[in-house]
Amino acid sequence: MEKVKLNFAHICDYASFGEGGKLNIVGIFKSINAVKFPVIHPQMFIVVNITVSTAGTYKEVIKLIKEDNEIEIMKPLEFNVTANKGNSELGVFGQISGVKFDEEGMYKFKVYVNDSLIKEIPLMVNKINQ
């Protein structure tokens, strides 16, 4: 039976692969501030890294939902990643542009691997006074 271990998952301003396949993560955050609503967040990245116990193809799905009503606020990100051997580390990152938040409150990124929820990453959207 396959086992999936979450190594890390972050919301950040930017992510890329650099020289030698190094993962660059810039500006990890857990909240967004807005003066008025609705607000459109211009760009963010979600980065997920897992270790799998068996070789094969794994489907990762990342959804962004409003916590109080479970409504999805963007089209889910979907990735198929392949491990050529057991105990392989697999990483994905997705760029998310132009997400509209209609109101303040708690949102969550839900990360699934092969239809199993492995992580919820909270994202607080705050109204601030200017």
- Binned at pLDDT 50, 70 and 90, residue 7 comes out as very high
CATH class for domain 4-124? mainly beta
Counting Cα atoms < 13 Å in the Cβ hemisphere of 81 gives: 23
- Binned at pLDDT 50, 70 and 90, residue 130 comes out as confident
Q: What is the pLDDT of residues 89-119, one digit of tens each?
A: 999 999 999 999 999 999 999 999 999 999 9
Domain residue spans in the chain?
Answer: 4-124
